[in-house]
Structure 1
Amino acid sequence: MGFILAARFLILGSLIALPAHAAPELKKPPYWASISAGKARTRTGPGRNYPAIWLYQRRGLPVRVIETFPAWRKIEDPDGAQGWVMSNLLTDDRTAIVRGGMQALRKQPGLESRVTFQVEEGAVGHISKCTAGWCRFEVDGKGGYIETAHLWGVGRGEVIE
């Protein structure tokens, strides 16, 4: 009987002492994300009991997560507006929005590279291969390289594979 009781305590103790990585890890803010839902409501605080302040209706819009609270993220949008959104309405997919008027997308990174097409200010697209001040930017099935200075959604000097 004593052996069975001791075995139960050992099993119970091992369940309580699970490693920290067993729980989902949160990224440390600030970090980039994008809106994954067709509609995402922001609130004044981290909970449904707080008043709604804005309704985003643009899937893929890049946002900067500046604070976390268990199932909520405080975000900043490209215009600088801030609010709390449920974390399941965000994705880690990297997107960016074009700033500074019409911009050229180039075949390769560098001003000497051929222009493949133009994108308007406000265009949202997926980014990849960011290095040395340039990112691969894809929108509506077309892609090219754009200077990061003309994008909101990528940090200065950030490298993305």
Structure 2
Amino acid sequence: MVGRMIKLISKQSLAVMLAGASVAPVQAASDPAFPSWRSLRDPVVNMRVGPGEDYAIRFVYHRQNLPIKVLRLYQGWYLVEDPDGARGWMNARFVNKTPTAILRGKGAVEMHAGPAQGSALLWKLAPGNVGRVGPCQQGWCEFTLEARKGFVPQDRIWGPGAQ
């Protein structure tokens, strides 16, 4: 759905994934640095079932700048969650510190000139578009998509500021 190619997971891969989940020490999600919002640095990035290149590839993402939520860090590998809720491990070198957000829901997302439904309608954006999010207020977030900048409803984004 978000531009990933699904690989089938065998029973052996599932066992490896479960073993990888119990590797210690892992920097816990309760650490103040996590969770954090990031994005994919490269146009092709692998999500693995465990924190290392010896672990099977779970998904291959073909979507540079796709937002991800980083949950943990272990020896240069991030445990991440994608916009569809899938979780796995990515090497930190493929993850940008620059957060992005993806537009969600059914139907067009209206981008307004101000943080209110009554403000001028600038654009109608399609769900799946990825952009940068600015401050959120009163249920609206600043959103920049290429040269377009305005405000979108906060409940239509997945990324920083998401409800």
TM-score by length of 1: 0.77
Match of 2:135 among 108, 122, 129: 129
| Structure 1 stretches lacking a partner, 5+ long | 1-25
Match of 1:31 among 29, 33, 36: 36
| Structure 2 stretches lacking a partner, 5+ long | 1-30
**Length, aligned pairs only:** 132
Taking the aligned partners of 2:135 and 2:160, their CA distance within structure 1 comes to 11
Matched AA of 1:65: V
Residue in 1 that maps onto 2:111: 105
Q: Is 1:59 the equivalent of 2:64?
A: yes
Which has a greater percent of helix? Answer: 1
Which segments of structure 1 move beyond 6 Å, counting only runs of 4 or more?
Answer: none
Match of 1:142 among 142, 148, 158: 148
Q: Secondary structure at the match of 1:83?
A: strand
Taking the aligned partners of 2:131 and 2:161, their CA distance within structure 1 comes to 16
* Native 8 Å contact 1:94 1:128 kept in 2: no
* Native 8 Å contact 2:48 2:59 kept in 1: yes
Identity of aligned residues (%): 32
TM-score by length of 2: 0.76
